Structure 1
C-alpha cells in the first residue's frame, strides 16, 4: 500500500482541490484535520445512484488552476482522457439533481499540537477583510488512486503556516 502511494506521488499528476479544514479528534486514528471539499457534489439527472456505490470521478482544472469534476461514471471511460479517482456515492438530491460524493482523501494528519491551531487559524477572517484564507489540498492522482500530499494556506504548507501564526501570538 505504501509502495503504491509512493508511485502515485512520484508519477501522478498534481491537482489543487479547494477546501476548508475542520478539526475533529479520532482517538483510534490520531490527530487530523478533516477536509471538506467544494467539489463534493455533482449535478446529474441519473437518480439511480446507490449509497456507497463506487464512482469514477473524472477531474479537470478550471481557469484558476483548481480541480473541478468533469464527469462521473460507474465504469472506466475509454473516451475520457482526464485523470480520475475512485470515490463512493453519498446521498442524491431529487430537488436539485445533485449527487454527493464521498471524497476519499478527506483527512490530513498533523502533529497533535498543531491540528487544532490549524483549524482556528484557517477559519478566522483575515485582518483586512471578512473572507477566509485561501485553503486547498495538493492531491496526486494516477490511474484511479489519489494521495493527499499537503494542505496549503495562502500558498504555504499548513504546518509552516500554523507555526508562523503561533509565533505571532
Structure 2
C-alpha cells in the first residue's frame, strides 16, 4: 500500500514539474505567434559592458518618455502603451499606472525622473545568442552604432495582452546573427 501511494505522489509531482515549463513555453510561443510586432530603435550601447555572458544588453530610444507626472516613484510598476510612429518604429504613447483596456501595452518599471523626462526599464533588454558569437557581435554592433549609419539598428518585439517577446535584433536590415556572419567573411 505504501509503495502504491508513493508511486501516485511521484506521478503527480512529475506531471506538475513538466507542466510548469511547458506552460511557460506555450505562453511565450503564443505571444510570438499572435502578438503585434513592433520595431524598437536601439541606441548605441556602452562599449565597456555590452555583454554579460550569453546575451546582448539593449537600450532603446523609447525608454525615455516626457511626462508631467512628477509623482512617479523609482522601480514602480507601470503599463506602457505603444504605437508606431510615422516611420514604422515603436514609440511610447503613454505611461499608465493602471492596465489599459485596449491597445498594445506591456508592463515595465520606472527608473529615474529628471525634470520632465521619465526613464523606463523595458522587460526585453536582453537578447540571448550563442556564446561563441557574442564577442564578435559585440565588436560588430559597436562599430555599426558608432558609424552613424542611416539605417538604425532595432529590436523586433512581439506584444500581446501585456506580455512581450524579443524576437530578434536587426542590424543593417539583417538579423544580428546573419550580420555577424557576413562581417566575418
Q: TM-score, normalised by structure 2?
A: 0.79
Deviation per residue, 1:16-58 (Å, 9 max, x gap) = 00014645443xxx31110010111111111111111111000
Match of 1:112 in 2: 131
Match of 1:92 in 2: 113
Match of 1:60 in 2: 83
Two-structure CA RMSD over aligned residues (Å): 1.9
Secondary structure (helix, strand or coil) at the match of 2:58 reads strand
Give the drift of 1:130: 4.2
Match of 2:12 in 1: none
Q: Say yes or no: does 1:141 pair with 2:159.
A: yes
Worse overlay, 115-124 or 103-112 = 115-124
Q: Say yes or no: does 1:165 pair with 2:183.
A: yes
Number of positions where the alignment pairs a residue of Structure 1 with one of Structure 2: 158
Q: Say yes or no: does 1:131 pair with 2:148.
A: yes
Do the aligned partners of 1:52 and 1:88 also contact (CA within 8 Å) in 2?
yes
Deviation per residue, 1:57-81 (Å, 9 max, x gap) = 0000011110000001010233xx4
Give the drift of 1:82: 2.5
C-alpha distance in structure 1 between counterparts of 2:79 and 2:73, whole Å = 14
Q: Which runs of 4+ in 1 moved over 4 A?
A: none
C-alpha distance in structure 1 between counterparts of 2:129 and 2:165, whole Å = 15
Do the aligned partners of 2:82 and 2:94 also contact (CA within 8 Å) in 1?
yes
Do the aligned partners of 2:51 and 2:57 also contact (CA within 8 Å) in 1?
no
Bigger share in helix: 2
Listed as ranges, the gaps of 5+ residues in structure 1 are none
Listed as ranges, the gaps of 5+ residues in structure 2 are 1-23
Deviation per residue, 1:82-138 (Å, 9 max, x gap) = 3001100111112xx111100110000111121121121122259xx9414521000
Structure number, greater radius of gyration? 2
Secondary structure (helix, strand or coil) at the match of 2:29 reads helix
Q: TM-score, normalised by structure 1?
A: 0.86
Give the drift of 1:4: 1.0
